[in-house]
Structure formats: structure tokens, C-alpha cells
Amino acid sequence: MISIATWNINSVRLRMPIVEKFVAEESPDVICLQEIKCENDKFPAEALAKLGYEHQAVCGQKGYHGVATISRIPLKEVSRHDWQDNGEARHVGVEVGKTGMVLENVYVPAGGDIPDREKNAKFGQKLDFLGRMTRWAEKVDAPTMIVGDFNIAPLESDVWSHKQLLKVVSHTPIEVETLDKFRDAHGWVDIGREFIRDPERYFSWWSYRSPDWRKNDRGRRLDHMWASPQLARQATGHRILEDARSWEKPSDHIPLITEFDL
């Protein structure tokens, strides 16, 4: 058995107390972090190693973005794709021990506020990022899992109000269509929705702007764990840690965990 978690931590140094709490309560074998918001030499490598995660692949950037995969199991870094073609640190890929699994950790750009590439360059960059991911996915030939903050909630049940968010970046038809093309390019299986079936409520992000996130519950499912078909068949469980949104100084995202029998 192996357990893999993904979590947009929104500054790993600031959130170390809740990372420690998460490890104490859940203790996954591998944790994929997004938005670490620090350069490699500022990453809390020693503190995480003391928690048992001595194997680390870090792709950092000063103040913004950045991803890291930390593990109790030996890792071999195999790739760092620049899917936005601008030098931002948004991806790291590893092989996980002797499991035969390639684990891709990605932070897709948010895309700004206006869902129009002519009026908003960031939105165009987001779609182009996904387009490059799609061309890469067409060539994937190993049992692979891709996880992270995709910044898209594809299903109607992935948002608090489909009608009100149709023109809001993260849930627009063109983003959903673009993500569908990425899914189809490799036949990815959406692990979360294999275990928490549509139309069940399933959110992973709630805005800091909401004074009472739980009462208002205006969430979106922006974080995902997708797997190659043969790997997906070995998944034995999937869960979300919604209570983490109420921890002290929380991220606006919560952790997702998938377990495999490998």
C-alpha cells in the first residue's frame, strides 16, 4: 500500500505548523505541494526531513508559484516541464521508489479574472499551458499519476453554483473543454470522481474572502488527482481533509489523499 497526497499549501514556510499537523494525523507516504512560494535554498528541507520526508524534489521560485514533492520513499526526479514557456516553476516529475509509478506534480496558472485571451493575457497563457500539457500527455507511456492545483472545476457539481460561475475563470466552458482534451489525450482517470461520484458535493478550495467559509460553502474543486487507466485500477481509496480549511492560518486549499495497492 502507498498513499499519495496533493496540497496547494500557499507558502510552505508560513504553513509549516499545519504541514506538521497534517503529517501527524494522516502520514501519507508522498506529499505533492504546490505554491511553495520560495526558492530551493529557502525550502524547509531539513524540517520536512525530520518529519520523515527526507526524499525531496523541489522546483522553487522566489515569492511565487513553486512545487515540491516530498516522500518517505526514495524518489528519482525525471522532469521539469515549462508548460507556460516563461520560466515559472510549476512542475516537477518523479519516479516513486520501485512502484513503477511516475508522479507528476503541477500547478496550472489561475488565468486572471477575465475569461478572454484577447483582453487578458493570463487567460491565454493558461489555455496554452494546458495545450502543451495535452501534447505531452499524448506521448505518456508509463503508469503515471498527475496531481495538483489544476485551477479548473470541470463538473457542474464541482462548484457551489454552476449557473453563477459559468462566466467566472476556473469554470468557463472553454476551460472545461481544454481540460477535457488533456484528459482524453492519455485517457486519464479522475480518481476523485471515481470515489466521490458526481453529483456528490466535492470541493477543495474556498476563498479567503468568505468570512465563514463553512456556512457559506462557496467552494470549488480546483485540485485533482488523475491516473493512467491501469494505475487507476489499483487505487483503493480517496479522501479529502476538509477540516484543514479551518486550521490555524490555513491554506485556502485542502489536502487530497489517494491510496494504491501497488
> Which tens digit of pLDDT belongs to each residue from 69-83?
999 999 999 999 999
| Rounded (10°) angle between helices 173-186 and 121-137 | 20
Q: How long, in residues, is the chain?
A: 262
CATH number of 2-260: 3.60.10.10
pTM over 0.95: yes
List the one residue out of 24, 34, 5, 104 whose CA is nearest residue 252: 34
Q: Write down the pLDDT at residue 211.
A: 79
Q: Write down the pLDDT at residue 224.
A: 98
Give the Cβ contact number of residue 89 at 10 Å.
23
Give the three cell numbers for residue 219. 467552494
Mean pLDDT of 118-141: 96
> Which tens digit of pLDDT belongs to each residue from 50-72?
999 999 999 999 999 999 999 99
Long-range contacts of 160-168 (CB under 8 A, 24+ apart): 160/203, 160/217, 160/218, 160/219, 160/220, 161/218, 165/220, 167/115, 168/115
Q: What percent of the chain has pLDDT above 90?
A: 97
Q: Write down the pLDDT at residue 215.
A: 93
Mean pLDDT of 21-48: 98
For the chain, domain boundaries: 2-260
